[in-house]
Each structure stands twice: as structure tokens, then as C-alpha cells.
């Protein structure tokens, strides 16, 4: 689909109010397209007043601009990410990935109310977000059309990148914040910030180069330890530091406390994008990292070794599914359903110690489903575990060990296989 096919039609533009949003909105209007802008309020830390986005988009020529409150939905989705410990390639809490799914789910009903069935977005053709918007929209409403200017040859001929877009906005007096001097781009929501592009594309630029938006760098955090306590029920944080909490308020408080202690700030990753490109990002997600670590410590008490093995496999699958845009498909939902028994058992109180970016276990309790027993695990003469009971068990294990040796399958030094006799 190109802009010529949209002349005289109305599109619903998913916008954040930034450079891409302003450029695309005005460019579409200039090309005879009617634009109604829709913004999901995701608790963006970089927007003091999200309503100002409407003013900016109207100034860019939009016929109307609508704000949809999606903060609670995003917070609950973030808790589900924590419940599955779904960090992509080990370090990224999928904060932008899950937010795209929540955004589409929040905006489509509002577009349908307006009788709009063409969704436009400003995601580039090199990134993951174009896939997430496309798949989420198609899964939630297969009758919906998706128009991506960054995949339109006419748009690409006019705009090669940020420089041309900034010049265009300056020429038309559009209310953008981006400048030629800005060293990188940022995507923000209450779960975290994603910094990429610009100078961050060079691996010679350290992660500390970013200016944190949700806290401070670990080296700039206080010199004193601060303690943080989270109480969980059915896998959901219900209290933070002794005060009742909802998923949203728990994340807001965890962001505040974690951020000021440098937790989850400036996380560097070079990751594999779905489109096949390796990209470099620097992430901030203090609340997700803090609550996520508390939840991890709680799971250590609850899951036995078989459950742990199952959980780790599910965690990896869910992380990849979110990253690639498949949150709403049966595969993801079946994986989440498979760990529901573990989530129901996730009840307890965990206290951690925060110090200059680190989150260390401090204490845990009130966990009725914990498998840990001080008496059973003790090396002292307490509890009902008799050391002698292990004699037969270990002897049976030894049968298999001896068989491996007899068959020449064991090693003596490092990885060198024992020579034939």
C-alpha cells in the first residue's frame, strides 16, 4: 500500500507525538489523506502531560487526536512478563515489545468507534516494531489494513532518515523536540526506556553515555543500602514496603525506588532482531528488574527441579514470542497457561537489598507453598532426614556411573575421552 491509494481516505495513526509522528501526520495530510491520531497513555516518563501530544498532532494537521488510557493494561502485561521471567536473550525485559501489543489492543476499539479501518504507524522497515504492530493488528482484527510509511517507496524517496525529517518539520513549523544534535532516540513507557540509534550504534560508545530518564547510573546511586519488600499473592504484587499496591502502583513505586538506586539502568545489549539484523540497545527498566528479581527469589522457594526445568523452557519461549510480535497467538497463551499452576503458588514476602545497581537477596517469608525447610536442609543434627537413608539411593546411582566407566564413556582429564585399553 502506498500513499496514492490513501488519497481521500481516513487513517488512524498510532502516534507518540515525536519526530516520526509529526512528520508522517503532516506528510499524509499534504498528500490528501485524512488523519485521526490515536495515542496510548502508557505512563510515558518523558511526557509530563500526555494531553500535550494531542495539541502537537492537531498542529501537524490531524483532524482529531485521541488519548486512550492503557496504563493499567500495560502494568498487568508487565506483571505477566515478570511471572514468566520473559527476558529476551537474557537481559531485555521486553518493555517496548509488550507495550506494542498493549497499544494496538487499546487503540483498535477506539478506531472502530470512529469507523476507521486503516491503521498507520511510524515503525521503520529495519526494526521489530513494524512486525509487532502488523501481527497484533491482524490477529485482533483481520479486516484491518495496516499502512507503514517507512515501507512506502514514495515516503522513502522523500525521507532518507532523521535529518530529512527534522528539516521537513522545521520548514513547516511543526512542534518537534528532536534536533540534529540529539545523539540517540528513546522509546518510553512506564515499564522502561529503550535507547538506540545515533551514537549508540557505535560499540565504542559506552552504555553510560545515555542520560537516564528513570533514575541514575549505578555509580551515581547513594552510598547506602536501601531495602525493598514486595508481597505477592497468586504471582501479583499486592504490597510494596508494607503498603497495599496494584500492579500499576507497585511498578510505579518500584521504578522510583529502583531507579534512584541505579537498578536496571543502562543495560547494554547487542541482540538479534526478528528481521535478521543485530542491533545495539541501552535499556532502563528499574521496576521490572526490581520486582522481577523479587519474583525470581520467590520462585526459588516454590519450584522443584522438574518444575524449574519446565519453567525455564517456557520463559525462553514467551520472551521470544513477545519480542517477535506473537503475544496474542495460541502458542504464547498456551505457554502462559502452562505456568499458571506455578503462578498460583507464588505467594510470599521477599525483601532485597539495593546498592548501586545490584539487587541482593535479604529475607523471605510467609510463603506457604515453599519447599524449602531449614530442618531438612540443615547439616546439623535436626529434622527427620537421616543421612544413612541416602546409602541405598546413592548406591543405585552408582550402578549407572560404573556402567559408563566400563563402556569407556567417561573422561579423566578435562574433555579428553579415556583411550581404549
- Exposed/middle/buried for 300, CB within 10 Å: 0-12, 13-18, 19+? middle
Cβ atoms within 10 Å of 242's Cβ, excluding its own: 9
**Pick the catalytic residue: 26, 56, 100, 260?**
100
Active site residue 249: no
Q: What angle do CA 145, 147, 150 make, to 5 degrees?
A: 160
Separation between Cα atoms, residue 418 and residue 412, nearest integer Å: 6
Q: How far does Cα 305 stand from its chain's mean position? A: 27
**Pick the catalytic residue: 64, 151, 158, 185?**
185
**Pick the catalytic residue: 16, 41, 129, 260?**
129
Alpha helices per DSSP H over 60-140: 71-83, 95-113, 129-140
The residues pairing with 240 across neighbouring beta strands, listed in sequence order, are 230, 243
Helix (H) or strand (E) holding 186: strand 185-189
Active site residue 185: yes
Q: Is 283 helix (H, G, I), strand (E, B) or coil?
A: strand
Active site residue 69: no
Q: How far does Cα 390 stand from its chain's mean position? A: 45
> What is the strand order of the sheet 236-240 is part of?
243-244, 236-240, 226-233, 348-355, 358-365
Judge whether 150 and 144 are in contact, CB under 8 Å: no
Q: What backbone phi and psi angles, to 5 degrees, belong to 89? A: 50, 35
Separation between Cα atoms, residue 11 and residue 25, nearest integer Å: 10
Active site residue 129: yes
Judge whether 364 and 349 are in contact, CB under 8 Å: yes
Query: Which position has the grid cell 541514575?
Result: 216
Q: What backbone phi and psi angles, to 5 degrees, belong to 383? A: 80, 180
Q: Which residues have a catalytic role annotated? A: 20, 100, 129, 185
Amino acid at each position: 500500500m502506498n500513499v496514492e491509494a490513501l488519497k481521500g481516505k481516513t487513517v488512524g495513526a498510532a502516534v507518540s507525538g515525536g519526530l516520526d509522528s509529526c512528520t508522517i501526520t503532516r506528510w499524509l495530510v499534504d498528500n490528501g489523506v485524512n488523519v485521526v491520531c490515536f495515542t496510548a497513555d502508557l505512563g510515558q516518563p518523558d511526557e509530563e502531560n500526555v494531553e500535550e501530544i494531542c495539541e502537537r498532532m492537531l498542529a501537524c494537521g490531524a483532524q482529531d487526536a485521541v488519548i486512550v488510557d492503557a496504563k493499567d493494561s500495560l502494568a498487568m502485561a508487565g506483571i505477566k512478563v515478570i511471572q514468566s521471567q520473559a527476558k529476551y536473550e537474557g537481559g531485555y525485559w521486553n518493555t517496548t515489545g509488550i507495550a506494542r501489543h498493549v497499544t494496538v489492543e487499546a487503540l483498535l476499539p477506539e478506531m472502530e468507534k470512529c469507523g476507521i479501518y486503516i491503521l498507520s504507524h511510524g515503525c521503520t522497515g529495519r526494526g521489530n516494531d513494524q512486525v509487532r504492530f502488523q501481527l497484533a493488528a491482524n490477529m485482533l482484527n483481520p479486516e484491518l489494513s495496516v499502512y507503514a510509511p517507512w515501507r512506502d517507496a514514495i515516503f522513502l524517496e522523500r525521507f532518507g532518515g532523521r535529518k530529512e525529517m527534522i528539516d521537513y518539520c522545521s520548514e513547516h513549523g511543526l512542534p518537534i523536540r528532536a534536533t540534529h544534535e540529539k545523539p540517540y532516540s528513546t522509546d518510553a513507557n512506564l515499564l522502561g526506556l529503550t535507547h538506540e540509534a545515533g551514537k549508540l550504534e557505535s560499540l565504542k560508545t559506552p552504555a553510560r553515555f545515555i542520560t537516564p530518564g528513570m533514575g541514575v547510573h549505578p555509580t551515581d546511586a547513594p552510598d547506602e543500602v536501601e531495602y525493598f519488600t514486595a508481597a505477592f499473592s497468586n504471582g501479583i504484587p499486592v504490597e510494596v514496603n508494607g503498603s497495599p499496591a496494584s500492579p500499576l502502583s507497585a511498578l510505579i513505586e518500584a521504578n522510583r525506588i529502583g531507579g534512584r538506586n541505579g537498578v536496571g539502568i543502562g543495560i547494554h545489549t547487542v541482540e538479534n532482531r526478528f528481521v535478521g539484523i543485530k542491533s545495539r540497545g541501552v535499556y532502563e527498566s528499574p521496576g521490572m528488574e526490581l520486582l522481577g528479581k523479587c519474583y525470581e527469589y520467590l520462585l526459588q522457594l516454590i519450584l522443584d527441579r522438574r518444575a524449574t526445568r519446565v519453567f525455564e523452557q517456557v520463559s525462553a519461549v514467551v520472551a521470544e514470542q513477545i519480542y517477535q510480535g506473537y503475544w496474542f497467538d495460541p502458542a504464547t497463551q498456551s505457554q502462559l497457561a502452562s505456568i499458571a499452576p506455578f503462578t498460583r503458588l507464588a505467594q510470599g514476602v521477599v525483601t532485597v537489598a539495593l546498592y548501586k545497581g545490584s539487587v541482593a537477596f535479604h529475607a523471605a517469608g510467609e510463603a506457604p507453598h515453599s519447599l524449602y525447610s531449614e530442618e531438612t536442609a540443615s547439616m546439623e543434627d535436626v529434622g527427620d532426614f537421616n543421612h544413612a537413608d541416602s546409602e541405598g539411593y546413592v548406591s543405585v546411582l552408582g550402578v549407572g556411573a560404573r556402567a559408563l566407566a566400563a563402556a569407556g564413556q567417561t573422561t579423566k582429564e578435562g574433555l579428553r575421552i579415556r583411550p581404549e585399553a
